[in-house]
Amino acid sequence: MPKASLTARFVESIRPGEGRTDYWDSDTLGLCLRVTRNGVKTWWIKYRVGGGRGGRQRVFRLGRFPDLALADARMRARRLFVEIGDGGDPAADRDARRSGDDVTAFAGRWIASLRDKGRKSADAWEVMLKRDVLPQIGRMKPAEVKRAHIREIVDRMKKRGATIQVNRVFEVVRALFRWIGREYDDVITADPSFGMQKPFDECPRERLITDAELRTLWTALESVREVNGRSRGGKAFAAMKPLVTEPVRLVIGLLMLTGQRSSEVGEARVAEFDLEEGVWRIPAGRTKAKRGQEVPLSAPASALVEKAIELGGGSEWLFPAAFKTKGGKGGPIFHTAANHAFKRAAAAAGVKDVRIHDLRRLVASGVARLGFGDDVIAAILNHAPRGVTARHYNRHRYQVEKRRALDAWAAHVEAVIEGRAASGNVVSLHSGGA
């Protein structure tokens, strides 16, 4: 166990060995930096309670480096040693606080940590936990959860007909318990999902929406339906209501024309759009790839954006939610709104086995069919470059090529929707039913 006067530079430069190594700080006795073979660096203190060398030895975790720097670790350790000298026992206090913590409590901390890191998946994962996981194991202590409990969660979902969604929930459960093991290694000794396989095999989806299906889908999106109800006075009435609200229809239209992800469209801010230049600049923090993306806007796409801004009534969001959030602030449209609307339109159009994410494949395949290459398609989709040359040397952004491709694709989509030749006059997608 090496002992040294630790420095910030030394702590930064430590490389992992074959096993776990503890580095004891000679400046603050009892403070230790533990480095695992995977390179994880964690600050600990060791102390005794009960008086002198005969007292019970205890350890207490301060936090991880670099989240907790050397100077901060020393300051916190010295403060705790003062409390220990006065009869305190931080490890016992911690154990007492955690003794009543169940899976629900730890899940709440995990989701909060994901939100702090800006993980956009946090909301969806929280929904999965509340719907399928916490009703089964939420009141259990993490150490009480076994493989049989996870299998029960999986089996209940299978019984109601879920398939690939079972895999997603399984992955969330596994991620939760791995996080508990990393952050609170005194709470569980093993991940209960260790060694388990995904419940269902997954193959890349190959469903491609045809031109005929695209036309019927858009017709359904613009359609209206009869809604029957009763007034407060009890009088029956019938009213015609759009199958899909206009803002959501505009979201789906932009997905069809740009090939971007539904979260990137639904959570777009008005400030990201330059309609004079005809470009949509998505910040790196909002993309799955964590790379900024510039999307050239075709004339039909620009028209949809202009209509959305008009409907937004001055909101910072391109597609503001109809209702304010719990904090009283207006946010973007809920991420599932377009998914549900697309399912309704597909059902009304009689189009089977289609999902909103298939629109991204539709754009990629359609652009390829129009004669554009894989490099341009990858740039439109904001996919990571492949190969040494593409990753390290080719810095071309394909802006001109992307604009030509998306302009050609928009012309094709409008031609399909209007039932005319692609060379005909352009008809705006935002005309028609609201």
Confidence (pLDDT) at 432: 45
Confidence (pLDDT) at 287: 84
pLDDT digits (tens, 9 = 90+) for 193-209: 888 888 887 777 788 99
User: Is residue 395 in a domain?
Assistant: yes
Same domain, 36 and 122: no
Confidence of residue 55 (pLDDT cuts 50, 70, 90): confident
Number of domains in the chain: 3
Same domain, 78 and 113: no
- Domain ends where: 65, 81, 97? 97
Nearest of 66, 69, 2 to residue 39 by alpha carbon = 66
Q: Which residue has the higher pLDDT, 52 or 101?
A: 101
Same domain, 72 and 116: no
Q: Which residue has the higher pLDDT, 85 or 411?
A: 411
Q: What CATH number does the domain containing 63 carry?
A: 3.30.160.390
- Please state whether the peptide bond connecting residue 332 to the residue before it is cis, i.e. omega within 30 degrees of 0: no
Q: Is the pLDDT of residue 31 over 70?
A: yes
User: Is residue 12 in a domain?
Assistant: yes
Structural domain of residue 76, as residue ranges?
Answer: 3-97
Angle at 21 between CA 16 and CA 27, to 5 degrees: 110
pLDDT digits (tens, 9 = 90+) for 126-148: 999 999 999 999 999 998 999 99
Confidence of residue 122 (pLDDT cuts 50, 70, 90): confident
User: Is residue 129 in a domain?
Assistant: yes
Confidence (pLDDT) at 20: 84
Q: Is 328 exposed, middle or buried (0-12, 13-18, 19+ CB in 10 A)?
A: exposed
Confidence of residue 84 (pLDDT cuts 50, 70, 90): confident
Could you identify the residue written with the tokens 């890191």?
Answer: 117
pTM given for the model: 0.60
Read off the pLDDT of each residue in 72-97 and give the average, rounded to a whole number: 84
